Amino acid sequence: MSDMRKTPTIQDVARFAKVSTATVSRALSSPERVSLGTRDRVSEAIRVTGYTLNQAARSLRQRAAKTILVALPDIRNGFFSSILDAIEREATNRGYSVLVANLYLGHESARRLEGYLFSNRADGLLLLDGSLDPQALRVLTTAPHSFPMVVACEDIPNAGFHRVLTDNQVAAERATRHLIDLGHRRIGHLVGPENNVVARERNAGFVSALRQAGIEPNPQWLIRGNFEMQAGFAAAARFMTLSERPTAVFAANDESAIGFLSGLRQQGIECPRDISIVGFDDLEVAAHYRPALTTMRQPRETLGRLAAETLIDLLEDDGTTRSAMHIVLNCELIVRGSTAPLAQ
């Protein structure tokens, strides 16, 4: 490679990608006329060399798509589909279209998102999945690419990104305290996926509420889950094998709470007679489940709307530098039939 302290030129990019400068230029202006493999090599070369596109050209190119990319861990989950609904409404109001990329609970990488942005299919990124590598994301959000990005729902802390979130830890404390207030002392937690930031925050809130009440969390009662109904159902079978069982469980989300309740019922455990359960999200079905589920309501519509609003504001504010936005919304405890005072 040439001396990297010089401002890199299109020749540097071409040399690194082993293509002609005409190909580099075509890959930038009309990516559809270049093979995916070549485009990837050129993108990689731009990243490595730090080549800066002409800002005005980039800005023109950016605005052309009038499209935002929403990357989320699981479209099928009712939580994310209602956030997506709110995002789509706000984007449509502002004249933007919405591309969706399903990341299958973090099984994909930032690499796939680059494809949408480098090919000009999207102008900016609304990221609802906290599992992606912050370094890889920073490549997208800083010069030379500088794609606007807003992180929503699942936090990526300390990386300088714009963020629109709910206070998961505080809300999990509140949910757990509700169980303590009902007299429960043996309290378990049906946790979310390993390495998921929201799962970690809710777990931390659970532990902190117990400690504040002078209760030492029992590691046996941290029941493995992954936010899915089926995992909650499977967790019920493991719950039955515990020698000593909790009288109350805080589930990391409603889907797993419902699966867990369904599994427990098969085992003859009745809620709230034998066990109290709190969920998280307040999915529509929570109110119509039996028993109706006590849960923390996330302000899904507001969250989706604000996330889209923040990203579109950034897109339309091209050129000005903003300090990172950090919006945190509160959740609300909705008490229903799945929690009851500890039987004496």
For the CA atoms of 147, 153, 158, 161, the dihedral, rounded to the nearest 10 degrees, stands at: 20
Shortest Å, Cβ 188 to a copy of itself? 19
Using rule CB under 8 A, residue 32 touches a copy of itself: yes
Q: Is 100 in the site for a copy of itself (CB under 8 A)?
A: yes
Listing DSSP states for 65-119 in one string gives: H-EEEEEES-TTSHHHHHHHHHHHHHHHHTT-EEEEEE-TTTTS-HHHHHHHHHT
Identify the residue among 237, 285, 324, 328 touching a copy of itself (CB under 8 A): 285
| Distance in angstroms (rounded) separating the CA atoms of residues 227 and 213 | 27
Select the residue interacting with a copy of itself from 158, 288, 321, 323 (CB under 8 A).
288
Looking at the Cβ atoms of 140 and 261, the one nearer to a copy of itself is 261
Q: How far apart are CA 96 and CA 145, in angstroms?
A: 20
Start-to-end Cα distance in the chain: 75
Q: Which two tokens stand for residue 165?
A: 């979130």
What's the closest the beta carbon of residue 143 comes to a copy of itself, in angstroms? 23
Q: Which range, of 17-25, 112-120, 137-145, 306-314, touches a copy of itself by CB under 8 A?
A: 112-120
Our finding on whether 287 is near a copy of itself (CB under 8 A) is yes
| Separation between Cα atoms, residue 1 and residue 4, nearest integer Å | 8
Q: Is residue 273 involved in binding a copy of itself (CB under 8 A)?
A: no
Near a copy of itself by CB under 8 A: residue from 211, 290, 322, 326: 290
Which 160-219 residues touch a copy of itself, going by CB under 8 A? Answer: none
Out of 10, 48, 53, 99, name the contact with a copy of itself by CB under 8 A. Answer: 99
**Dist. CA 119–CA 25, nearest whole Å:** 13
Residue 142 makes contact with a copy of itself by CB under 8 A: no
Closer to a copy of itself by CB, 198 or 261: give it. Answer: 261
Rounded-to-integer distance, Cα 189 and Cα 174, Å: 14
**Residue 148 near a copy of itself by CB under 8 A:** no
Check binding of 92 to a copy of itself (CB under 8 A).
yes
CA trace torsion 164, 166, 170, 171 (10° rounding): 180
- Helix axis angle for 110-118 and 36-49, nearest 10°, is 100
Using rule CB under 8 A, residue 289 touches a copy of itself: yes
Q: Is 237 in the site for a copy of itself (CB under 8 A)?
A: no
Q: Is beta strand 162-166 parallel, antiparallel or unpaired with respect to 149-152?
A: parallel
Nearer CB in complex with a copy of itself: 173/228: 228
> How, if at all, do strands 294-297 and 332-334 pair?
antiparallel
- Extract the tokens encoding 150: 């807003």
Return the range that interacts with a copy of itself (CB under 8 A); candidates 62-70, 164-172, 194-202, 214-222: 62-70
**Position 78 contacts a copy of itself (CB under 8 A):** yes
Question: Which residues of this protein are in contact with a copy of itself, per CB under 8 A?
Answer: 30, 32, 36, 63-67, 74-78, 81-82, 84-85, 88-89, 92, 95, 97-102, 112, 116, 119, 121-122, 229-230, 233, 258-259, 261-262, 265, 284-285, 287-290, 292
